[in-house]
């Protein structure tokens, strides 16, 4: 149990709020467990018709807790809290909506690839700085992004790892709408309410069919990424990146071959 992820059921919507603002909502193992538990809770509760992931008006999530990265992944990827969460996210048949503001870094962006509707504030900074951290893509992003955006756009996001805005994300088809940050969650909740009024079995079937588009290939990609990610976490490149973040300086990769 952690109070860093809060859940609340309201009008058939399971609202899951990331709540660790002093650390920019960086996600720890316990928080991933809670995020995954919410999907199972929604799956097992026929009164829940959709899930809303949200943070605050200022911050969605700065991604994985960098301190936890330094400790490595506890076990095989699929058995780790983050692996379980991502695999549940990609396979659940309850619709998932996201309300995003401020930083949406790392998994804060890749988890959105498995959401059905995404609303983002005009203050959102999306980023997948995996390579920048000596790591590699995760969450199925190495498969989904090239097929959705084309190879070169995907490589730009995953290799250069720069931040991009909500307007950029809208242009790329990664989100549905750009909002005023104070209105993002309200807008997402309105969409949840509309979804909850739809015929629930038809919505579940639709999500199952959308999930099938990635299918076995998506799961295989996520597992392959997870294995390589765990290896990269032990790399000197990642050690340098984490040390640099802690020391508030730019990493220096010039001595690596």
Binding site for ligand COA (CB under 6 A): 23-24, 26, 62-67, 103, 105-106, 129-130, 133
| Nearest residue (CB) to ligand COA, 55 versus 63 | 63
Min separation Cβ 179 and ligand COA, Å: 20
Do strands 125-127 and 177-179 pair parallel, antiparallel, or not at all (unpaired)? unpaired
| Nearest residue (CB) to ligand COA, 13 versus 133 | 133
Shortest Cβ contact with ligand COA: which residue? 106
Min separation Cβ 143 and ligand COA, Å: 18
- As a whole number of Å, the end-to-end CA separation of the chain is 43
- CA-nearest of 245, 191, 185 to 58 is 185
**Residue 15 Ramachandran class (φ > 0 left, ψ -120 to 50 alpha, else beta):** beta
| Nearest residue (CB) to ligand COA, 121 versus 129 | 129
**CA atoms of 30 and 256, how far apart (whole Å):** 33
Min separation Cβ 18 and ligand COA, Å: 12
| Nearest residue (CB) to ligand COA, 95 versus 106 | 106
Whether 37 contacts 51, CB under 8 Å: no
**CA atoms of 31 and 4, how far apart (whole Å):** 7
Min separation Cβ 111 and ligand COA, Å: 12
Cα torsion at 195, 199, 202, 205 (round to 10°)? Answer: 60
Min separation Cβ 27 and ligand COA, Å: 8
| Nearest residue (CB) to ligand COA, 14 versus 174 | 174
């Amino acid at each position: 149990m952690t109070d860093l992820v809060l859940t609340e059921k309201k009008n058939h919507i399971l609202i899951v709020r990331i709540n660790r603002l002093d650390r920019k909502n960086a996600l720890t193992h316990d928080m991933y467990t809670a995020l995954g538990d919410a999907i199972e809770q929604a799956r097992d509760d026929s009164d829940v018709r959709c899930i809303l992931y949200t943070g605050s008006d200022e911050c969605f999530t700065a991604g994985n807790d960098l301190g936890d990265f330094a400790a490595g992944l506890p076990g095989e990827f699929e058995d780790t809290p983050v692996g379980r969460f991502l695999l549940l996210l990609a396979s659940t048949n309850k619709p998932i909506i996201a309300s995003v503001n401020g930083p949406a870094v790392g998994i804060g962006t890749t988890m959105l690839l498995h959401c059905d509707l995404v609303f983002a504030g005009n203050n959102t900074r999306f980023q997948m700085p995996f390579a920048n951290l000596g790591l590699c893509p995760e969450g199925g992003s190495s498969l989904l992004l090239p097929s959705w955006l084309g190879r070169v756009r995907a490589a730009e996001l995953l290799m250069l790892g720069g931040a991009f805005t909500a307007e950029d994300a809208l242009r790329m088809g990664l989100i549905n709408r750009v909002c005023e940050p104070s209105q993002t969650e309200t807008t997402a909740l309105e969409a949840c309410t509309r979804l909850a009024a739809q015929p629930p079995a038809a919505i579940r079937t639709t999500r199952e069919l959308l999930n099938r588009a990635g299918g076995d290939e998506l799961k295989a990609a996520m597992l392959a990424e997870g294995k390589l990610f765990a290896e990269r976490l032990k790399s000197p490149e990642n050690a340098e990146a984490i040390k640099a973040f802690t020391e508030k300086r730019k990493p220096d990769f010039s001595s690596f071959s």
